[in-house]
């Protein structure tokens, strides 16, 4: 009898401990979820802020306003206010409406003049690559954005061709064979966004087995508008600049827009395209 009572007591205690542990786990999960949804104050552009505009001027002219956004969607370097130290700094590039103001977007007037209003972080270089609108996240990539860079390349005698139509859409064609998409740069800072000049030409990049690549452009008399290509300028070191140039010439680059909570890295079990 005593043994049976002891067994029942132990079972009850285990059930209580298990219930408490489950409730504690659920409470921690709820706290983490609420922390991600917690609203924070950030500065958001209300109108286009021209490059070279000081932070003080942008605030005084109503070009910036405070907004509350979920913490999980806000970059870690987003600004919540313009302090006296930040007031004299100027925009390194034009800030588009709806863009969150990030600390790297503000530079000294001397830096803006030295780089043509393009603020390049210390030790980095600026590299520009052309992309179709769809490959540049449909225009949501802005100066100050963090992006991941992917590359699609051909294997087993596959041929990849791409061109941007005048609406900015990507026209792609693939012959027989296989194509692979891999991550190249997990996180890169965007310095500037521009529109490719209207030239009446359509560019095509072909990647074949063995990594050979050819590029050609032909004049289209009927093309009178922009080619649809977006010019994305990024801050990278020398090694990453070389990788960007290679995939632009011998592959099909593609961008993904990141937030502070985005989880991205090299594919598990696969060797990176380039050694880091």
66-119 tens-digit pLDDT:
998 888 778 888 999 999 989 988 888 888 888 899 988 888 877 776 666 677
Q: Which stretch of DSSP H or E encloses residue 39?
A: strand 39-45
Cα radius of gyration rounded to whole Å, the chain? 25
Question: How many C-beta atoms surround the C-beta of residue 134 within 10 A?
Answer: 18
Assign residue 77 the CATH number of its domain.
3.90.1210.10
Structural domain span for residue 58? 39-114
Question: Both 84 and 194 in a single domain?
Answer: no
Question: Both 224 and 99 in a single domain?
Answer: no
The CA-atom distances, in angstroms, between 242 and each of 59, 70, 161, 274 are 39, 36, 22, 10
Cα separation, 100 vs 80, in Å, equals: 10
Give domain status of residue 274, yes or no. no
pTM for the whole structure: 0.54
Q: Which of 192, 132, 196 is nearest to 167 (CA)?
A: 132
Number of compact structural domains in the chain: 2
Question: Both 167 and 232 in a single domain?
Answer: yes
Indicate the pLDDT class of residue 236, thresholds 50, 70 and 90.
very high
Question: Both 149 and 217 in a single domain?
Answer: yes
Q: What are the tens digits of pLDDT across the range 191-226? A: 888 876 654 443 433 333 334 443 434 334 333 333
Question: Both 252 and 129 in a single domain?
Answer: yes
Give domain status of residue 94, yes or no. yes
Q: What is the DSSP string of 117-150?
A: S--PPTT-EEEEEEEEGGGGGGGT--TT-EEEEE
Cα separation, 207 vs 264, in Å, equals: 26
Question: Both 89 and 194 in a single domain?
Answer: no
């Amino acid at each position: 009898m005593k043994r049976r009572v002891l067994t029942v007591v132990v079972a009850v205690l285990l059930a209580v401990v298990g219930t408490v542990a489950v409730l504690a786990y659920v409470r921690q999960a709820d706290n983490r979820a609420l922390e991600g949804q917690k609203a924070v104050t950030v500065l958001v552009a209300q109108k286009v802020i021209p490059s070279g505009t000081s932070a003080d001027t942008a605030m005084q002219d109503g070009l910036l306003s405070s907004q509350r956004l979920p913490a999980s969607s806000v970059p870690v370097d987003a600004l919540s206010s313009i302090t006296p130290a930040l007031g004299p700094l100027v925009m390194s590039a034009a800030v588009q409406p709806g863009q969150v103001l990030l600390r790297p977007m503000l530079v000294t007037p001397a830096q803006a003049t030295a780089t043509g209003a393009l603020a390049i972080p210390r030790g980095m270089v600026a590299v520009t690559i052309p992309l179709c609108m769809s490959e540049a996240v449909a225009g949501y990539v802005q100066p100050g954005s963090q992006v991941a860079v992917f590359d699609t390349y051909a294997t087993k005698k596959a041929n990849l061709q791409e061109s941007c139509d005048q609406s900015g859409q990507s026209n792609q064609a693939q012959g027989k064979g296989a194509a692979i998409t891999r991550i190249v740069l997990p996180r890169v800072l965007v310095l500037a966004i521009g529109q490719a000049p209207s030239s009446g030409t359509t560019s095509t990049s072909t990647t074949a087995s063995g990594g050979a690549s050819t590029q050609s452009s032909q004049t289209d008399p009927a093309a009178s508008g922009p080619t649809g290509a977006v010019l994305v300028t990024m801050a990278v070191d020398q090694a990453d600049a070389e990788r960007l140039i290679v995939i632009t010439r011998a592959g099909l680059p593609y961008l993904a827009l990141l937030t502070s909570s985005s989880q991205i890295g090299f594919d598990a079990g696969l060797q990176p395209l380039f050694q880091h």
